[in-house]
Copies of this chain bind each other. A is one copy, B any other.
Amino acid sequence: MDDQEIIELFRENEFKVTAQRLAICKFIISREDHPSADQIYQELKIDYPTISLGTIYKTLDLLEKLGIIQKLGFNEGSIRYDPDMELHINVVCSNCGKIYDYKAENVKKLWSDIISDLGIKPKGQRIDIYYECDDCKERN
Protein backbone atom coordinates (compact mmCIF):
# COMPACT_ATOMS: atom_id res chain seq x y z
CA MET A 1 0.00 0.00 0.00
CA ASP A 2 1.67 3.23 -1.14
CA ASP A 3 1.04 6.83 -0.07
CA GLN A 4 -1.42 7.47 -2.85
CA GLU A 5 -3.56 4.46 -1.98
CA ILE A 6 -3.70 5.46 1.66
CA ILE A 7 -4.73 9.01 0.76
CA GLU A 8 -7.46 7.75 -1.52
CA LEU A 9 -8.78 5.36 1.11
CA PHE A 10 -9.02 8.21 3.62
CA ARG A 11 -10.78 10.50 1.13
CA GLU A 12 -13.21 7.79 0.01
CA ASN A 13 -14.30 7.42 3.61
CA GLU A 14 -14.48 11.17 4.15
CA PHE A 15 -11.61 11.40 6.57
CA LYS A 16 -9.21 14.28 6.16
CA VAL A 17 -5.65 13.55 5.19
CA THR A 18 -3.25 14.94 7.76
CA ALA A 19 0.50 14.57 8.15
CA GLN A 20 0.00 12.72 11.45
CA ARG A 21 -2.45 10.19 10.02
CA LEU A 22 -0.23 9.48 7.06
CA ALA A 23 2.81 9.06 9.27
CA ILE A 24 1.04 6.70 11.69
CA CYS A 25 -0.46 4.66 8.86
CA LYS A 26 2.81 4.33 6.95
CA PHE A 27 4.68 3.47 10.11
CA ILE A 28 2.39 0.66 11.17
CA ILE A 29 2.22 -0.81 7.68
CA SER A 30 6.01 -0.82 7.43
CA ARG A 31 6.45 -2.76 10.66
CA GLU A 32 6.13 -6.49 11.00
CA ASP A 33 6.50 -6.68 14.77
CA HIS A 34 3.05 -5.41 15.74
CA PRO A 35 4.03 -2.36 17.80
CA SER A 36 2.09 -0.94 20.75
CA ALA A 37 0.59 2.56 20.74
CA ASP A 38 3.43 3.82 22.91
CA GLN A 39 6.10 2.34 20.66
CA ILE A 40 4.51 4.12 17.70
CA TYR A 41 4.42 7.32 19.73
CA GLN A 42 8.06 7.08 20.80
CA GLU A 43 9.28 6.54 17.26
CA LEU A 44 7.12 9.13 15.53
CA LYS A 45 7.97 11.77 18.14
CA ILE A 46 11.42 11.96 16.58
CA ASP A 47 10.09 13.29 13.27
CA TYR A 48 6.87 14.83 14.63
CA PRO A 49 7.85 16.33 17.99
CA THR A 50 4.37 17.69 18.76
CA ILE A 51 2.43 14.49 18.01
CA SER A 52 0.38 13.24 20.94
CA LEU A 53 -0.61 9.83 22.24
CA GLY A 54 -4.25 10.84 21.95
CA THR A 55 -3.83 11.30 18.22
CA ILE A 56 -2.08 7.95 17.95
CA TYR A 57 -5.01 6.19 19.63
CA LYS A 58 -7.65 8.03 17.61
CA THR A 59 -5.84 7.26 14.37
CA LEU A 60 -5.36 3.60 15.26
CA ASP A 61 -9.10 3.29 15.91
CA LEU A 62 -9.71 4.89 12.53
CA LEU A 63 -7.33 2.51 10.78
CA GLU A 64 -9.09 -0.40 12.44
CA LYS A 65 -12.46 0.86 11.18
CA LEU A 66 -11.00 1.15 7.69
CA GLY A 67 -9.91 -2.48 7.94
CA ILE A 68 -6.21 -1.72 7.53
CA ILE A 69 -5.11 -3.03 10.91
CA GLN A 70 -6.22 -5.41 13.63
CA LYS A 71 -6.01 -4.86 17.38
CA LEU A 72 -4.50 -7.70 19.44
CA GLY A 73 -5.14 -7.63 23.18
CA PHE A 74 -2.67 -9.62 25.27
CA ASN A 75 -2.75 -11.22 28.69
CA GLU A 76 -0.75 -8.59 30.53
CA GLY A 77 -3.28 -6.05 29.30
CA SER A 78 -1.18 -4.65 26.47
CA ILE A 79 -2.61 -3.99 23.03
CA ARG A 80 -0.57 -4.43 19.87
CA TYR A 81 -1.47 -3.44 16.31
CA ASP A 82 -1.17 -5.88 13.44
CA PRO A 83 -1.26 -4.58 9.85
CA ASP A 84 -1.69 -8.06 8.38
CA MET A 85 -5.38 -8.72 7.88
CA GLU A 86 -4.99 -12.07 6.12
CA LEU A 87 -5.23 -15.44 7.84
CA HIS A 88 -1.92 -15.99 9.61
CA ILE A 89 -0.40 -17.18 12.85
CA ASN A 90 1.17 -14.78 15.37
CA VAL A 91 4.30 -16.40 16.73
CA VAL A 92 4.73 -14.66 20.08
CA CYS A 93 7.63 -14.78 22.55
CA SER A 94 5.83 -14.91 25.87
CA ASN A 95 8.85 -13.42 27.60
CA CYS A 96 9.84 -10.30 25.60
CA GLY A 97 6.66 -9.95 23.54
CA LYS A 98 8.39 -10.19 20.17
CA ILE A 99 5.97 -11.26 17.43
CA TYR A 100 6.37 -12.47 13.91
CA ASP A 101 3.84 -13.77 11.44
CA TYR A 102 3.70 -17.24 9.98
CA LYS A 103 1.64 -18.13 6.95
CA ALA A 104 0.84 -21.65 5.90
CA GLU A 105 -1.37 -22.78 3.07
CA ASN A 106 -2.64 -25.72 5.08
CA VAL A 107 -4.14 -23.37 7.66
CA LYS A 108 -6.50 -21.93 5.05
CA LYS A 109 -7.93 -25.33 4.13
CA LEU A 110 -8.47 -26.32 7.74
CA TRP A 111 -9.97 -22.95 8.50
CA SER A 112 -12.67 -23.21 5.86
CA ASP A 113 -13.47 -26.71 7.13
CA ILE A 114 -13.91 -25.40 10.65
CA ILE A 115 -16.05 -22.49 9.48
CA SER A 116 -18.44 -24.75 7.62
CA ASP A 117 -18.51 -27.18 10.54
CA LEU A 118 -19.43 -24.37 12.93
CA GLY A 119 -21.97 -22.96 10.51
CA ILE A 120 -21.06 -19.34 11.25
CA LYS A 121 -20.05 -16.29 9.23
CA PRO A 122 -16.69 -15.32 10.71
CA LYS A 123 -15.89 -11.62 11.03
CA GLY A 124 -12.25 -12.22 11.83
CA GLN A 125 -9.85 -14.51 13.55
CA ARG A 126 -6.70 -14.62 15.58
CA ILE A 127 -4.22 -17.44 16.02
CA ASP A 128 -1.30 -17.20 18.45
CA ILE A 129 1.50 -19.56 19.34
CA TYR A 130 3.49 -18.72 22.47
CA TYR A 131 7.11 -19.76 22.89
CA GLU A 132 10.41 -18.47 24.22
CA CYS A 133 12.57 -16.85 21.54
CA ASP A 134 16.29 -17.55 21.15
CA ASP A 135 17.35 -14.16 22.55
CA CYS A 136 15.37 -14.77 25.73
CA LYS A 137 16.68 -18.33 26.07
CA GLU A 138 20.26 -17.04 25.97
CA ARG A 139 19.54 -14.38 28.56
CA ASN A 140 18.36 -17.05 31.06
Contact = CB atoms under 8 A, between A and B. Distances in A.
A27 interface: no
Question: Chain A contact residues: over half helix, strand or loop, or mixed?
Answer: mixed
B75 A76 contact: no
Bin chain A's interface residue count: 35 or more
Interface of A: 71-79, 89, 91, 94, 102, 104, 106-107, 110, 113-115, 117-118, 120-132
Given A113-B106, A122-B130, A123-B132, A74 B75 contact: no
Contacts of A72: 75
B71 A73 contact: no
Contact of A126 (B110, B122, B123, B126): B126
Contact of A129 (B91, B107, B113, B114): B114
Contacts of A74: 73
Nearest to A132: B123
Nearest to A102: B118
A68 to B, nearest CB: 15
A76 B79 CA distance: 9
Contact of A117 (B78, B104, B122, B125): B104
